[in-house]
Amino acid sequence: MRLIALLVTGARALAKPPAVIGQKLHDVATPALLLDADAFERNCETLKSAVALTGVRARPHMKAHKSGALAKRQLELLDVHAAGVCAQTVSELEAAVDAGVGDVLLTNEVVGADKIERVAAAAKKSSGRVGVLIDDFWAQATDLNLALDDDVIVDAYVEVDVGQRRCGVSPSEAAPLALQISRLKNLRFAGCHCYHGLLQHVPSKAERREAVADVADAVREVRNALSAAGLAEFVITGGGTGTLAADRDSGVFDEVQPGSFCVMDLQYGSIEHEIVFERALEVLTTVLSRPAPNRCVVDAGSKAVDLVAGPPDVEGNRPYRSGGDEHGILDLEAGDDLAVGAKLRLYPSHCDPCVNLHDHWILHRGGVVVDVLAVDARGSGC
């Protein structure tokens, strides 16, 4: 009664990519993750303009697109205004290092022998710098320090809880932890990570600014304490797409970490913005069935468009209802002649988990596929 192993190596064949270069979008197999390459590039140019001349650098977060190639491309477009990129998982870190990104900050704690070994290997492989977050000296910093080869240094950023109440030490604990870390041989205390994710989607521009002012007060306390402790060289990094303008203007951040800006989604599209980014991400779907005049069924269910943050917008303003894991149900108005086989674009509610559901990005310009990229850092969080 023993199951036979199908897999002993780390590789498997994926289904063939749903598109080839030169193909028209209408012929792409669905559900497909579309990236408007022109809009993606304009969004990077907009970010560059937003931070240029301010002294603040951008560290785009690849959790939004999960592609080493796109991370590398962002850095090229941002030029000297980029500090590097952020990764959220070890897989994202590995994809960025493999793509040749020179400075990758894993904005998460690393725990467990397997992951610590992978971070150590990525740091050794990197031609630049690799960083991680620490909020516990013994369980995180010392284990990582021990796992590193003598000639490899990893940047350690202390994670400070500036209001989100997830991971992170309190502002008053930051400097003592930084001093502890600075005594380790293979970790370099690089700064503090101060991120408040819950502020990113506050709809009102004014209310977001007010909330960021509270974050800035906490960050200022951290900066002062680090300086008082004699720690001269450090970077304060944090923030996201929603709070980008306020973080930039706060005077306390050296780096900002927008992720969604490059693709955008329905959640971000619906807040009041100070810096305007374009929709670059869509999911292409096909009508599978047209069983009634007021209803059709498409092939994009909760496995193609993450529904935790709500249903996607549908081309032609047709309301989307969940039809389960593989189906979406569209309620149609009288006279809508949408037929079986028709293709529609969906605009997803939340980019990160939506992208995570797909194996390939289909890049297009003017209705034609110009590239197919692996979503090489997708996965459950390993």
Q: Tokens 């907009």 appear where? A: 46
Residue among 168 and 238 whose Cβ is closer to a copy of itself: 168
Q: Does 139 bind a copy of itself (CB under 8 A)?
A: yes
CB of 263 to a copy of itself, least distance (A): 14
Q: Using CA atoms, how far apart are residues 346 and 285, in angstroms rounded to an integer?
A: 7
Contact 21, 371 (CB under 8 A): yes
Stretch that binds a copy of itself, among 46-54, 185-193, 226-234, 323-331 (CB under 8 A): 323-331
Contacts with a copy of itself in 266-295 (CB under 8 A)? 286-292, 295
Q: Please, which residue, 87 or 216, has the CB nearer to a copy of itself?
A: 87
**Residue of 202, 297, 330, 362 interacting with a copy of itself (CB under 8 A):** 297
Is 46 a residue that touches a copy of itself (CB under 8 A)?
no
CB closer to a copy of itself out of 56 and 320? 320
Burial of 309 (0-12, 13-18, 19+ CB in 10 A): middle
- Comparing CB distances to a copy of itself, the nearer of 56 and 70 is 70
Say whether residue 337 binds a copy of itself (CB under 8 A): no
For 100-131, give the DSSP string. T-SEEEEEEE--SHHHHHHHHHHHHH-SSEEE
Do residues 160 and 168 touch, judged by C-beta distance below 8 A? yes
Q: Rule CB under 8 A: is residue 135 a binding residue for a copy of itself? A: yes
Site for a copy of itself in 59-118 (CB under 8 A): 63, 67-70, 73, 88-91, 94, 99, 108-109, 111-115
Task: Select from 78-86, 178-186, 244-252, 316-324 the region that touches a copy of itself (CB under 8 A).
Answer: 316-324
Closest separation in Å from C-beta 120 to a copy of itself: 14
Q: Is 339 in the site for a copy of itself (CB under 8 A)?
A: yes
Residue 366 touches a copy of itself, criterion: CB under 8 A: no
Alpha-carbon radius of gyration of the chain: 22
Q: Convert 9-44 to b/e letters by CB count within 10 Å (16 or more is b).
A: eeeeeeeebbbeeebebeebbbbbbbbbbebbbbbb
Contact partners, residue 35, CB within 8 Å, separation at least 6: 65, 70, 263, 280, 281, 361, 362, 363, 364
Q: How far is the CB of 4 from a copy of itself (least distance, A)?
A: 6
Cβ neighbours, 10 Å, residue 232? 7
CB of 251 to a copy of itself, least distance (A): 27
Does residue 299 belong to the site contacting a copy of itself (CB under 8 A)?
Answer: yes
Question: Is residue 260 a contact point for a copy of itself (CB under 8 A)?
Answer: no
* Contact call for residue 22 and a copy of itself (CB under 8 A): no
Choosing from 153, 167, 229, 271, the residue that interacts with a copy of itself (CB under 8 A) is 167
CB of 310 to a copy of itself, least distance (A): 11
- Which long-range contacts link 74-81 to residues 24+ away (Cβ below 8 Å)? 74/44, 74/262, 75/101, 75/102, 77/41, 77/44, 77/45, 77/48, 78/44, 78/47, 78/48, 79/48, 81/47, 81/48, 81/51, 81/52, 81/57
Q: Does 12 bind a copy of itself (CB under 8 A)?
A: yes
Size of the site for a copy of itself (CB under 8 A): 103
For residue 193, the cross-strand partners are 159, 237
